Amino acid sequence: MTTTTELTKKYLSEHPSILDCLKKGIINYSKLSRKIAKDLDIDKKTSMEAILIACRRYEQKIKDETILEDKILNVLKKSELEIKNKIIVCIVEKAGYYSKVIELEKKIRKDTDTFYAIEGSKVFTIITSEKHLGNLKLIFGKNIIKISENLVMITIKSPKEMEDTPGVVAYIYSQFARSGINIVETMSCWVDTIFVISEDDIPTVMKFLKF
């Protein structure tokens, strides 16, 4: 049977706004305990006390995470952003097209243009400039599953400290999620973290990527 303490921890972890207040130490624990008890339909006095204790213990855990968050932000403050517009993402059936993907890559890279290919179990995901859309359709034809256009590729170039700082990528992802931004594609290469998003989301993204 799930304990009151476990239910409280789960509740807190699922409410980011409350977690933010815990981190900043600006929360009334009695009111928070009453709210949790009401939301979880708990009315026993002993359970109320257990909720209060669990909240205070969770605060200490959050404080430890805040120290880590400071380290993450320090890494991100040293990072640089590179933005490329007019990007497309093309998903292609994998069977029989491996050599064609390599051929396309050579052609695009010869023009020193953007090209990334992610190999999955059944498909290739190709990320490139929209000016190559015609070649993609010509080469892969009916084997194209989906094409997404009007995209932007954001590359976060971080310092070497990123290797030894846990949670940097998770922190960035959380910022996208909290802002309701859908990530069309994402990948990483050592200290470079790459996101492909809709052009329409750029104004919002630039607000929370100003570290």
Quick one: tokens of 112? Answer: 């020193």
Domain presence at residue 75: no
Per-residue pLDDT of the chain in tens (211 residues, 90 and over written 9): 788 999 999 999 888 788 878 887 888 999 999 999 999 888 777 788 899 999 999 888 887 676 677 888 999 999 999 999 999 999 999 887 888 899 899 989 988 999 999 999 999 999 999 999 999 999 999 999 999 999 999 999 999 999 999 889 999 998 999 899 999 999 999 999 999 999 999 999 999 998 8
Residue 91's domain is classified under what CATH number? 3.30.2130.10
Judge whether 155 lies within some domain. yes
Beta pairing partners, 115? 128
Q: What is the structure's pLDDT at 98?
A: 85
Please tell me whether residues 19 and 107 are part of one structural domain: no
134 and 37 within one domain: no
Spatial separation of the C-alpha atoms in residues 72 and 22, rounded to whole Å: 19
Read off the tokens for 101.
């993907």
57 and 137 in a single domain? The answer is no
Query: 84 and 182 share a domain?
Result: yes
Q: Which domain holds residue 175?
A: 80-208
DSSP class of residue 160 equals G
Q: Is residue 74 in a domain?
A: no
Last residue of one domain, picked from the residues 12, 38, 68: 68
* Alpha-carbon distance values, 93 to 103, 104, 137, 196 (Å): 16, 15, 13, 20
pLDDT for position 66: 65
Model pTM?
Answer: 0.72
Please give the sequence-ordered ranges of beta strands (E in DSSP) within the chain, or none if there are none.
80-93, 115-119, 123-129, 144-157, 185-189, 192-198
**Amino acid found at 49:** E
Verify that 64 and 102 share a domain, yes or no.
no
- Are 84 and 64 contained in the same domain? no
pLDDT of residue 13: 87
Closest CA to 125 of 148, 152, 96: 148
Task: Indicate if 150 and 86 belong to the same structural domain.
Answer: yes
Residue 95's pLDDT is 83
